[in-house]
Amino acid sequence: MNPKTENLITVLDAGSTKICVLVAELNDGVLRYRGHGIEAAQGMRRGVISALGPAGKAINLAAMEAEKKCKAPIETTVVGIGGPHVRGVNCQGGLNMGSRMKEITREDVRSAIDRARSVGLAADRDVLHLLPQQFVLDDQGGIHDPVGMVGNKLEVMLHLSTCSGSALQSVVTCANKAGLEVSDTIFEGIAAAEAVLSADERELGVCIADIGASSTELVVFFEGSVAHTAVLPIGGDHFTNDLAVGLHISVEEAEQLKRNFGNCVVTAVPQLNEIEIGGDLATGGQGARMVRQRFLAEILEPRAREMLTMLRDNLRHGGVLEAMGAGCVFTGGGANLAGLLDNAESLLRVPARIGYPVPLSRMPAELARPEFSAAIGMLLYTHRTQVRKASEEQGLRQKLKSIFAGTY
């Protein structure tokens, strides 16, 4: 391994609007920002890759920019997976270890998880995450880690996050085309949660919604574990398109108007406010006309309510609507839309807030925005997984040592 790259973690978030490659360095247990590259997305449609060539090229440009900033070669990356092809399901399974009490080993835990996962996994799906919710040992539930406990029957309840194998393969192929080897995959909703949620919120029950351009990734945590995941086929671009159609303007202009003057609470916009639209700069503003700013809100508010109703129905269907003691957190670029929280609080009847990602050490302020939650969360998640694996290996080494020393 190149000594320069060994402490670097690189993540790739190939979204519908932007490709983001983010690099951090692990130093004395602290994750430090090293560099990033952002490119406008190419070859992406509705959250999945629709053309390998252009998507690979955009990833390559973002990776080169990141390499230049961090002054080190990037060889491997963790990729984020999102879009409506991602699904989540809760499943349950376990092991009966005979009539004699037995100490539970890590191997037993793995077998129980394997059985539970085979119950919930359809043939054409790839597993993104196996997230244990709780273990039940001889009918005693609520167990987090049963290794070392004694019992006959071990059951596990887990949340299984899966995605379309071909969609995942396309992201891997594009990363490979850009010269990056893929070391792991993470569901973008789980990654965003890592960057914006507190431990208390996960314990009390919280829903995080990562509103991207074309889809919204949802994750609900309850009692510290993932209780539900889903992807809604609606995102910020639906709002932009509504404005473009409603005002007969280009998508580009609609996007600017949404960002600068958009609000999805009609009554929050002063009645007399007017804005100029449709002016073509190339022709000295010809074709410009005035519209009431409220007219924008009259278009945006129904779309926001539609999205939030879809969200509420999805949570109700997943049996988690009443599990959000800490409310709902909105992140992703779409969460920047003014008035979204008011609509969310009135429709979902829980407190709502915008989720900003926790900043990495030395990270530029421009990345501390909701649209980078997934990328930053991928770094944090990867770091946490590495630390956990290292401590498990350390534990195993310690155990082997004491076995050989005859003290175990």
Cα gap 286→284, rounded to integer Å: 6
Interface with ligand ATP (CB under 6 A), residue from 10, 11, 15, 377: 15
Name residue, tokens 């995450």: 129
Structure tokens at 292: 């009431």
Which of 225, 212, 288, 215 minimizes the C-alpha distance to 257? 288
x-or-dash string of contact with Mg ion, 323-362, rule CB under 5 A: ----------------------------------------
x-or-dash string of contact with Mg ion, 208-227, rule CB under 5 A: ----x---------------
Name residue, tokens 């009490």: 101
Interface with ligand ATP (CB under 6 A), residue from 215, 229, 314, 382: 215
Minimum CB–partner distance for residue 18 and ligand ATP (Å): 5
Report 345-374 residues binding ligand ATP (CB under 6 A): 371
Contact call for residue 15 and Mg ion (CB under 5 A): yes
Q: Decide which of Mg ion, ligand ATP, none touches 225; Cβ closer than 5 to 8 Å per partner kind.
A: none
Angle, helices 52-70 vs 165-177, to 10°: value is: 50
Q: For residue 173, give every residue at least 6 positions away whose Cβ sits within 8 Å of its Cβ, in sequence order, or none.
A: 52, 56
Which of 386, 408, 385 minimizes the C-alpha distance to 396? 408
Neighbour count for residue 406 (Cβ, 10 Å): 6
Report 244-283 residues binding ligand ATP (CB under 6 A): 255, 258-259, 262
Contact call for residue 37 and ligand ATP (CB under 6 A): no
What residues pair up with 88 in beta bridges, in sequence order?
161
Question: Which among 31-39, 115-123, 148-156, 207-215 is the span making contact with ligand ATP, rule CB under 6 A?
Answer: 207-215
Q: Which is nearer to ligand ATP, 17 or 92 (CB)?
A: 17
Question: Which among 15-23, 126-134, 230-238, 271-279 is the span making contact with Mg ion, rule CB under 5 A?
Answer: 15-23
Which of 181, 220, 162 minimizes the C-alpha distance to 59? 181
Interface with ligand ATP (CB under 6 A), residue from 108, 155, 201, 237: 237
Structure tokens at 165: 């194998």
Interface with ligand ATP (CB under 6 A), residue from 333, 339, 355, 377: 333
| Exposure letters 152-162 (e unless 16+ CB within 10 A, then b) | eebbbbbbbbb
Cα gap 71→54, rounded to integer Å: 25
Q: Decide which of ligand ATP, Mg ion, none touches 339; Cβ closer than 5 to 8 Å per partner kind.
A: none
Cα gap 109→138, rounded to integer Å: 14
Report the amino acid identity of residue 65: E
Minimum CB–partner distance for residue 152 and ligand ATP (Å): 46
Q: How many residues bind Mg ion (CB under 5 A)?
A: 2
Structure tokens at 55: 């998507």
Q: Decide which of Mg ion, ligand ATP, none touches 16; Cβ closer than 5 to 8 Å per partner kind.
A: ligand ATP
Q: Which is nearer to ligand ATP, 10 or 336 (CB)?
A: 336
Q: For residue 169, give every residue at least 6 positions away whose Cβ sits within 8 Å of its Cβ, in sequence order, or none.
A: none
Could you say which DSSP state residue 365 is in?
G
Contact call for residue 18 and ligand ATP (CB under 6 A): yes
The 3-state DSSP class for residue 279 equals coil
Q: Which is nearer to Mg ion, 15 or 355 (CB)?
A: 15
Report 76-95 residues binding ligand ATP (CB under 6 A): 82
Q: Decide which of ligand ATP, Mg ion, none touches 17; Cβ closer than 5 to 8 Å per partner kind.
A: ligand ATP
Q: Decide which of ligand ATP, Mg ion, none touches 93; Cβ closer than 5 to 8 Å per partner kind.
A: none
Report 153-212 residues binding Mg ion (CB under 5 A): 212
Structure tokens at 389: 């694996």
Cα gap 31→120, rounded to integer Å: 35
Cα gap 212→330, rounded to integer Å: 10
Contact call for residue 334 and ligand ATP (CB under 6 A): yes
Residues that bind ligand ATP (CB under 6 A): 15-18, 47, 82, 212-215, 235-237, 240, 255, 258-259, 262, 332-334, 336-337, 371
Judged by the rule CB under 5 A, the positions of this chain that interact with Mg ion are: 15, 212
